[in-house]
Amino acid sequence: MKRLFLTSVTLLLAVFAGELTPQSTPLSSASACTNFIVGKNASADGSVICSYNADSYGAFMYLYHYPAGKHQPGEMRKVYEWDTNKYLGEIPEAAETYNVIGNTNEWQVTIGETTFGGREEMVDTTGIIDYGSLIYIALQRSKSAREAISVMTALVEQYGYYSEGETFTICDPNEAWIMEMMGAYVPDSLKQSLKPAVRKQLGRTVWVAMRVPDDMICGHANQSRITTFMPAKKEKKGQETVLWSKNVVSYARLMGWYDGRRDEDFSYNAAYAKPDFSGRRICDARVWQFFRRYADGMDRYLPWAEGKDPDAEPMPLWVKPNKLLTVQDVQAAMRDHFEGTPFDVSDQSRDKNDIGGGIWQMPYRVTPLYFEIDGKKCFNERPTSTQQTSWTFVSQMRSWLPREIGGCFWFGNDDPNMVAYTPVYCCATQQPDCYSGKGADDITFSMDNAFWVENWVSNMVYPRYSALFPDLKQVRDSLEASYFFTQKGIEQIAQTKEGAERVDFLTKYTCMQADNMIKRWRQLATFLIVRHNDMARRPVDEKGNFKRGKYGLGATVERPGMPESFRRELINRTGNKLIKPAE
């Protein structure tokens, strides 16, 4: 098997070195999302790494692409709300815009987000820029994370911010930032009572941006995470580690939400989005588990993640990991189901009374999150990996490589546990066809579309998880292993090329790997149907080929039945009903 794998990789490298010619082209909705962040000195190779699961039921999403362009004075850009496609207005286009593929651009700037909501009365319904549009406009106009922060905050101050409270991840090859933003709506009755000079200083948004220390990891998952933020000493311009809007404290004072003596004691989330049970158990618990996987001492913050003790010690915004993290480590964290914790939904043996995963013990829970029984409000655990993910990425940004090569955006078009992340280089000037959205939408299935093919497979696996997932995992892990094994050689070849030739080379490689993935995923779909038909299992050989019997028919099927833990619990609950009497 290893020999075959190495041969395939050698052939792949040969194609891209020009030694072989391929026969054919080888080549938000996000209201419940998760972002993880790794500083450059917290990663194994010096990369800045960030990730994003875009989670939204019913949303059809794909790999967005905005080509680089030059624009004439007076040219306008129409703004449509990302979640609904509602037209909001238009703004002047920038003189030059940069190539954007997915949530990264040609300068390796990457932006993600999670929505925390916050106080509803702060939303500015007159704004014309929503959080999704803000991300992609900023990517088109920014060469660094700092510039992206400047672009984003200037735009919403001028045109208004149409969305609820948002936490943004904003990274480049050298820096990682977390920024929180809300509208700063003031009722007309209150506004008219203010002096003209005060009204001019109101501002349209309240925001704080904090640079994640290089040796730390950070995360956010639909709960505002920034508390106090003002540095003890004034920082040099251009070297700031904290930035904030001038009105961030004064607005809270005006609205009666902060009356502290010192601005330095002001807490952003205490004023604008105070953590409640949902904010801690449903949201912050995902960050706690990310920290717990890779940092020591996180059991100290279990009461915070549990969400029940109002006096629990708050979890820190970032922590220092006990190892240097790789892209694979972050991918594993995006696939997490609270394994090994009191919130674990992956192992029914930890709590035999938790039957939420069904007979085949899926590590997912049927939505909605909340439900009522006999007048009592109940909830399901909400792990990082969830069935409503529309797409997922892990972005790798490397300062020591040419920028076209340094940005590798690992992308999947469904729940991260159920997909193979494929490499998309930040310079890619076209989307792979399967990630483009062509010929498909939220109610139109296509066998050529990654979102639908990957959802086809995952929705076969979910209800019979323990039986089918091992087959999916084997294919997923094999594909990803090949991508990582090939990465170094491909990038060495790319470094021998210049300019447009390098861009074309990496674009073709990006498209080729995505094309190969969807072909393999269609094969996986039919394999699962044939192998696991009628809740039985057809035997396969060591190469994964179906076995045949002596006379050419398919080999006798295996009937593994229910998992033993479920069989045992079934008998415990039914007593003698299903026990065969002695004869």
Structure tokens that stand for 5 in this block: 């794998």
pLDDT-derived band at 425, boundaries 50, 70, 90: very high
The alpha carbons of the chain give a radius of gyration, in whole angstroms, of 26
Q: For 196-248, give the DSSP string.
A: HHHHHT--SEEEEEEEPPTT-EEEESSS--------SSPPPTT--SEEE-TTT
pLDDT-derived band at 27, boundaries 50, 70, 90: very low
Residues 385, 221: Cα–Cα separation, whole Å: 12
pLDDT of residue 347: 77
Q: What is the pLDDT of residues 164-184, one digit of tens each?
A: 999 999 999 999 999 999 999
Residues 417, 385: Cα–Cα separation, whole Å: 6
pLDDT-derived band at 30, boundaries 50, 70, 90: very low
- The residue assigned the tokens 């998309």 is 424
Contact in structure between 222 and 38 (CB atoms under 8 Å): no
pTM above 0.85, yes or no: yes
569 vs 378, more confident = 378
Residues 145, 139: Cα–Cα separation, whole Å: 9
Cβ within 8 Å of residue 281, ≥6 positions away: 305, 306, 307, 308, 379, 382
Count how many Cα atoms sit within 13 Å of the Cα of residue 358 in the half-sphere of its side chain.
13
Residues 184, 33: Cα–Cα separation, whole Å: 24
Write phi, then psi, for 108 (nearest 5 degrees): 75, 10
pLDDT of residue 3: 34
Structure tokens that stand for 558 in this block: 């295996």
pLDDT at residue 10 greater than cutoff 60: no
Cβ within 8 Å of residue 235, ≥6 positions away: 241, 242
Residue 551, number of CB atoms within 10 A of its CB: 5
Q: What is the mean pLDDT of the chain?
A: 93
pLDDT at residue 373 greater than cutoff 90: yes
**Exposure string for 214-236, b = 16+ CB within 10 A, e = fewer:** bebbbbbbbbbbbbebeeeeeee
Q: Counting beta carbons within 10 angstroms of the beta carbon of residue 484, is it exposed (0 to 12), middle (13 to 18) or buried (19 or more)?
A: middle
pLDDT of residue 19: 38
pLDDT-derived band at 348, boundaries 50, 70, 90: low
pLDDT-derived band at 566, boundaries 50, 70, 90: confident
Which residue, 211, 230, 46, 74, is CA-closest to 145? 211
24 vs 286, more confident = 286
Q: What is the pLDDT of residues 462-498, one digit of tens each?
A: 999 999 999 999 999 999 999 999 999 999 999 999 9
Q: What is the 3-state secondary structure (H, E, C) of 409-465?
A: EEEECCCHHHCCCEEEECCCCCCCHHHCCCCCECCECCCCCHHHHHHHHHHHHHHHH
Contact in structure between 97 and 130 (CB atoms under 8 Å): no
pLDDT-derived band at 196, boundaries 50, 70, 90: confident
pLDDT at residue 24 greater than cutoff 60: no
Lowest mean pLDDT among 27-41, 271-285, 342-356, 458-472: 27-41
Q: What is the pLDDT of residues 497-509, one digit of tens each?
A: 999 999 999 999 9
What are the CA-CA distances from residue 161 to residues 131, 187, 355, 395, 582 (Å)?
8, 16, 43, 26, 74
100 bridge partner residues: 66, 105
Which residue, 305, 303, 327, is CA-closest to 36? 327
Which residue, 447, 465, 437, is CA-closest to 357? 465
pLDDT of residue 318: 98
pLDDT of residue 183: 97
Continuous H helices in 18-113? none
DSSP class of 87: E
